[in-house]
Amino acid sequence: MNRITLNISDYKLQCLFPGFDYLLKRRVAARFAPYVQENDSSAHGRLSVQPITMREHEHTEPQLEKRIKNWIEGYLSKFPFAPDPEAERNSLFSRIRPFLSVPEINRHLHGMPGDEPVSVLTIDQSFLVQNQTTGDSVLFLKSGFRWVKPFWDYSPISVIGKAVYYVAATSLPLSNTIMLHGTGIEREKAGLLFLGSSGSGKTTIARFCREEEVLGDDAILLKKKDNHYVISSCPFNSGKSIYLKESRLAMVLFIEQDTYHDLEEISSATAGSMILKNHIHYFRNFSADAVRSTFQQVADLCRTVPFYRLHFKKEPSFFTKIDQQLTEPCACRGPGG
């Protein structure tokens, strides 16, 4: 068995590859280069990659279907305002169902006790099963071994990358780290965290900065060290963030593209609510323990750093507003300030 260990903010994820593709381990190691820890067999969680072959019209056991339907119900309860839950339910089940009859997946799910909390995810025609008690996951990679394949076939590295992303996002909270959907910048030794939904301008903000200032343009890790918070890079960003960097967090900014620049302070509880609602990757897939840990950490963060709503035009002059705020005394609150 080939294996590599990824160290993501002190959370060690061991990735195990069967010998079906001799180059796979090397390519995954290259994809996550700065995070690979050589000769380290200790791990907080494991991600095993198993090749599968899909066959049509295979029988699915009603017992397994029932278990997955229960899981879907639990998952959908996290979307109480969904406009059409029935359509969601059907869509989810139709995506998952073909995998249930695959012998390897069938055996794996049968091997887990019925009351063991699991989460499942379909990724580009592959299937991920996570045991939420042990933190171990198995990625069932569709047609994992093909020496000759059509040119339009999916990339296994991309699927494995997404699986690592999911496992890290849902497991890191148990190591007191949160993965946030945002852009992290270090400016004059002050860490700035910009939070916004897709299309809100996170990448634009990163583009206004020098490469060495950017910690990440889409996913940022947040962790408490001593009595202050640090933001750090993680391996799930585009080009500018492949380096391992961290910076002491000075402020959090919720971004809104506008026709003017303005910085408006917002209440800590409101900020906490916005983070929990919109800016934590896969928050609805978290185990109860991970939700508790995340909640405590977000509440603590809210007592520690100031939060602002940043209205900005697509030009870098908005940094003047931030710089002014950073130079004011007591930019940070509480013991970390």
- Measured CA to CA, the distance from residue 150 to residue 144 in angstroms comes to 13
197 binds another protein (CB under 8 A): no
In the complex with another protein, which residue's Cβ is closer, 82 or 87? Answer: 82
Residues 285-304, one symbol each (x = binds another protein by CB under 8 A, - = not), give -x-x--xx--xx-xx--xx-
Q: How far is CA 200 from CA 207, 275, 311, 315, in A?
A: 14, 15, 11, 14
- Rounded Cα distance, 301 and 231, in Å: 12
Which listed residue (269, 314, 320, 323) binds another protein by CB under 8 A? 269
- Euclidean distance between CA atoms 1 and 236, whole angstroms: 26
CA diameter of the chain: 68
The yes or no reply on residue 283 touching another protein (CB under 8 A) is yes
Does residue 225 belong to the site contacting another protein (CB under 8 A)? no
C-beta of 168: minimal distance to another protein in Å? 19
Pick the stretch among 7-15, 25-33, 153-161, 265-273 that binds another protein (CB under 8 A).
265-273
Residue 307 or 318: the one with the smaller Cβ distance to another protein is 307
- DSSP for residue 154: P
Contacts of 256 (CB under 8 A, 6+ apart): 196, 200, 309, 310, 311, 312
CB closer to another protein, 18 vs 334: 334
Number of residues that bind another protein (CB under 8 A): 24
Interaction of residue 272 with another protein, rule CB under 8 A: yes
Looking at the Cβ atoms of 139 and 302, the one nearer to another protein is: 302
Q: Which window, 104-112, 130-138, 257-265, 268-276, contacts another protein (CB under 8 A)? A: 268-276
Question: Phi-psi bin for 199: left (phi > 0), alpha (psi -120 to 50), beta?
Answer: left
Residue selected from 276, 311, 321, 337 as contacting another protein according to rule CB under 8 A: 276
* Contact range with another protein by CB under 8 A, out of 1-9, 19-27, 49-57, 280-288: 280-288
Q: Does 196 bind another protein (CB under 8 A)?
A: no
Residue 82 makes contact with another protein by CB under 8 A:
no
Instruction: Supply the minimum distance, in Å, between the C-beta of residue 306 and another protein.
Output: 11
Stretch that binds another protein, among 20-28, 75-83, 117-125, 195-203 (CB under 8 A): 75-83
Where b means 16+ CB within 10 Å and e means fewer, 131-141 reads bbeebbbbbbb
**Closest separation between CB of residue 287 and another protein, Å?**
11
Report whether 294 contacts 173 (CB < 8 A).
yes
Query: Which C-beta is closer to another protein: that of 64 or that of 76?
Result: 76
Q: How far is the CB of 267 from another protein (least distance, A)?
A: 6
Nearest CB to another protein, comparing residues 227 and 296: 296
DSSP structure string for 219-266: EEEEEEETTEEEEE--SSS-GGG-S--EEEEEEEEEEEE-SS-EEEE-
Which stretch in 119-127, 172-180, 244-252, 278-286 sits in contact with another protein by CB under 8 A?
278-286
End-to-end CA distance of the chain: 48
Alpha-carbon gap, residue 185 to 199, rounded angstroms: 18
Judged by CB under 8 A, which of 131, 183, 268, 325 binds another protein? 268
Q: Name the burial class of residue 65, with classes exposed (0-12), middle (13-18) and buried (19+) by CB atoms within 10 angstroms of its CB.
A: middle
H or E element, residue 275: helix 268-278
From the number of C-beta atoms within 10 Å of its C-beta (0-12, 13-18, 19+), residue 312 rates as buried
Select the residue interacting with another protein from 53, 77, 317, 324 (CB under 8 A): 77
Which residues would be at the binding site for another protein (CB under 8 A)?
A: 77-80, 267-270, 272-273, 276-277, 283-284, 286, 288, 291-292, 295-296, 298-299, 302-303
